[in-house]
Structure 1
Amino acid sequence: MATCDNLVRRHVLNTSPETDCIFCHSQMEDLEHILFLCEKTGEIWNAFLRWIGKSSALHHNAKEHFLAFIGLGNKAETRFLTGLWISIVWSIWKERNNCIFKQGVWNKDKLVLEIKMKLWCWKMIFKLEAPVLDLQAWLSLEGILS
């Protein structure tokens, strides 16, 4: 992925404040930071852990993070948790690109809503195992897998 650390390593960019994480500005952007370590994206992961009624200390490596996340549920919930993980990662990456290329502004609540809406659509299309709720309950309920 074209994260700032990769672009600096390939001499496409020079290290500068522009290579810092677009969300927290505390360190150089790399994949693990932007998706899993950044305090801002950590808020997203914590919001969704609460939403599914689980708690966990998740890994910082993408593969280990994914395996730990889908391991939070039982076998029947694996597809739902996989879809949720993919939706969160994809949405964070899209938000990162929006902030960099379109001068977007980080908005946690908007991002959480977008992820829930995306997952609602995927749930219907792919018949993911999840509680059958109306959309309003889906958006507001916490602990949906508890």
Structure 2
Amino acid sequence: MEESTEKKEYEISYITRSENGTKAVEAICVRHSGSVVHTEVLRKISLAYPIKKETVGFFGVSYVMLEPSAIHEIEQEAKLDQEVLRMLVVAEPIRMRQQEAVTRDQEEGYVPSRSTGGTSTPATQSQKAVTNEELEKKLEEILG
């Protein structure tokens, strides 16, 4: 089975011991032929429970372009790095891919039709507003 060498965008969320943790995570990605697209500013956070005997960490997010085959190796290397407490690699959300496809279809002139199930009423129909007086009359009729 042939592996794809096409790079994809991933979001890497991580908690590090110090502010230098961003450099450690980015270095791991670059060693595996990745490139950093964007890095968010680190935030100091209190951890809910100690991780590797640390109660405070620095939370950061980086967006990188990586080959899918390198993800496992990056995760393993991050586990061995003393600076990185936790790391999570997430692929680009599917809804963004779907949104791009819809945008591309609209540019080409294709707009999919939506069918209503027949039992639901359209949201554009306005319902008649009921006043307090009408509600009181109905209550009197019901209660006697």
Q: TM-score, normalised by structure 2?
A: 0.26
Query: Structure 1 length as normaliser, TM-score?
Result: 0.26
Structure with bigger RCO (C-alpha 8 Å, 6+ apart): 2
**Larger strand proportion of the pair:** 2
Bigger proportion of residues as helix: 1
Bigger CA radius of gyration: 2
